[in-house]
Amino acid sequence: MVKVITYGTYDLLHYGHIRLLERAKALGDYLIVGVTSDDYDKTRGKINLQQSLMERIEAVKATGIPDEVIVEEYEGQKIDDIQRYNVDIFAVGSDWVGYFDYLNEYCKVVYLPRTEGVSSTEIRTHERQIKIGFVSDGEERVLNKFIDESQYVNGLTISGICSSSNSIKKYASEKVDFMTSDYEELLKNSDAVYIISHPRMHFEQIKQALTAGKHVLVEAPIALTEEECKTLFELADKNNVVLMESIKTAYSTAYNRLLLLVKSGKIGRPVSIDATCTSIRSIESEKDYDKIWNSISAWGPTAVLPIFQILGTNYQFASISSLLLDKKHMFDAFTKVDFIYNNAVASLKVGRGVKSEGELIISGTKGYLYVPAPWWKTDYFEIRYENQENNKRYFYQLDGEGIRYELVAFVKAVIQGKKSNYVSQDISLAIAKLMRQYQAGEIHEL
């Protein structure tokens, strides 16, 4: 019996895939098809698949062509599979010519001509194009990353940038055709906006976009009080548009695995969480205090994310201590927040004028989870126990600091009209509550 194996993603199964499977099967008597898992696809740069692994497997099975379907999960698996299943022929489309020649050592490699004129990428791109406009008056570095990362996301095109900042205009005009300082004009040209203006501007800008029926992705915090945040979510619901809070860490694969491991009891009952995020930011003049995000708004939402996602938002008490550089604008060089829960405690430290070790530690009754700095770009963590032999290390590739995956989640939410559950509404509300408490001066000054 001649055994043939082939691999693919098979997203939105199309005619090209079916023809390939038929020809692969015709090369022998038994066809094994490896469908790539979502995680493995991410490491290969395929990030915005429309279908889940199960859906893709079902679609491949439903063609009735394969005799067996397996999942491809890791680099190097092809060699393992060929040996384990006693494969005689490895077949793949001609877009891979030469790439798999190394498998000749294990079996015969056949490149089959690719069907012209059809691909999953093309179907995904044509399905729907969302025109996204960027709104920014500072924070160029983050804006630049979003501009660059959006190139990787099918279904997303940049409609323009609204900014009054000269440095942004200068940089972005090389990458984006339409520049304006008129927000209304940007909204007219867009289906959605990504807002990274100063948090004090968020409420009005989000309201205006939602009222105009545009979807909104906004750099956290959404707003500076829970009332404003609630009003905006209600408006989004009423107008049937998406309002999503942007915290890139929430989209990292490693961060999501870490949450699942803690929730499934790997460290026992979580008792204490410590999260630190700092980055020194130079303040050149008095005016900067008005423009630059303070420490609590720039870092607070990220630092508090694991606390709220693991311990919940129902804390009994939060005490805030800050080192203020400018009282008028409530500009903090450093803030520490201590949360008291019924059965746990947590603390976060954020700074734009104080530097510390940016690590995350989640302590539990059986062991603790440790994420080294910079923990918010999560790609590696360890679970550590009293008996070191039981320690475990985890690594998951993170591309584009999570921004790429975040944009994919936003596009999905817009197309499917579904809320994304990476940062849930109750967490956005709790973040806004913390901002309100800080802005209202309910703090201990250092």
Which part of the chain contacts ligand CTP (CB under 6 A), choosing from 92-100, 218-226, 318-326, 433-441?
A: 92-100
Rounded Cα–Cα distance for residues 413 and 245 (Å): 12
d(CA 323, CA 331): 9
Instruction: Kindly state whether residue 205 participates in binding ligand CTP, applying the rule CB under 6 A.
Output: no
C-alpha span between 170 and 236 (Å, rounded): 33
Distance, in Å, from the CA atom of 391 to the CA atom of 384, rounded to the nearest integer, reads 5
Query: Which residue in the set 95, 184, 237, 445 belongs to the binding site for ligand CTP (CB under 6 A)?
Result: 95
Stretch that binds ligand CTP, among 118-126, 157-165, 239-247, 294-302 (CB under 6 A): 118-126
Stretch that binds ligand CTP, among 66-74, 119-127, 261-269, 337-345 (CB under 6 A): 119-127
Q: Is-cis flag, bond preceding 374, omega within 30?
A: yes
β-bridge partners, 71: 35
Q: Is 21 in contact with 47 (CB distance < 8 Å)?
A: no
Residue whose token pair is 């497997």: 57
Among 2, 26, 97, 118, the residue binding ligand CTP under the rule CB under 6 A is 118
Least gap, CB of 131 to ligand CTP (angstroms): 22
Note whether 255 binds ligand CTP by CB under 6 A. Answer: no
Structure tokens at 358: 């940016």
In the bound complex, what is the minimum distance in angstroms from residue 408's beta carbon to ligand CTP? 13
Does 114 help bind ligand CTP (rule: CB under 6 A)?
Answer: yes
Choose the stretch contacting ligand CTP; rule: CB under 6 A; options: 112-120, 265-273, 369-377, 396-404. 112-120
User: Is residue 52 near ligand CTP by the rule CB under 6 A?
Assistant: no
Interface with ligand CTP (CB under 6 A), residue from 4, 20, 195, 324: 20
What DSSP element (H or E) covers 362? strand 360-364
Half-sphere exposure of 164 (CA within 13 A, CB side): 5
Separation of alpha carbons 210 and 216, rounded Å:
7
Least distance (Å) between residue 152 CB and ligand CTP: 12
Output the smallest distance, CB 76 to ligand CTP, in A: 18
- Residues between 387 and 416 that touch ligand CTP (CB under 6 A): none
Binding of ligand CTP by 92 (CB under 6 A): yes
CA–CA–CA angle 193, 329, 318 (5° rounding): 85
Sequence-distant (6+) residues with CB within 8 A of 250 are: 256, 305, 402, 406, 422, 423
Least distance (Å) between residue 120 CB and ligand CTP: 4
Q: Does 8 bind ligand CTP (CB under 6 A)?
A: yes
120 interacts with ligand CTP by CB under 6 A: yes
* 38, 82 Cβ separation under 8 angstroms: no
At 159, which helix (H) or strand (E)? Answer: strand 156-162
The smaller minimum CB distance to ligand CTP, of residues 95 and 204, is found at 95
Interface with ligand CTP, residue 9, by CB under 6 A: yes
What sign has the CA pseudo-torsion 49, 51, 53, 57? negative
DSSP 325: E
Q: Which is nearer to ligand CTP, 10 or 183 (CB)?
A: 10
Q: How far is the CB of 97 from ligand CTP (least distance, A)?
A: 10
Segment holding 233, helix H or strand E:
helix 226-238
Binding residues for ligand CTP, how many (CB under 6 A)?
A: 17
Give the nearer residue to ligand CTP in terms of CB position, either 20 or 168.
20
Interacting residues with ligand CTP (CB under 6 A): 8-11, 16-17, 20, 46, 92-93, 95, 114-115, 118-121
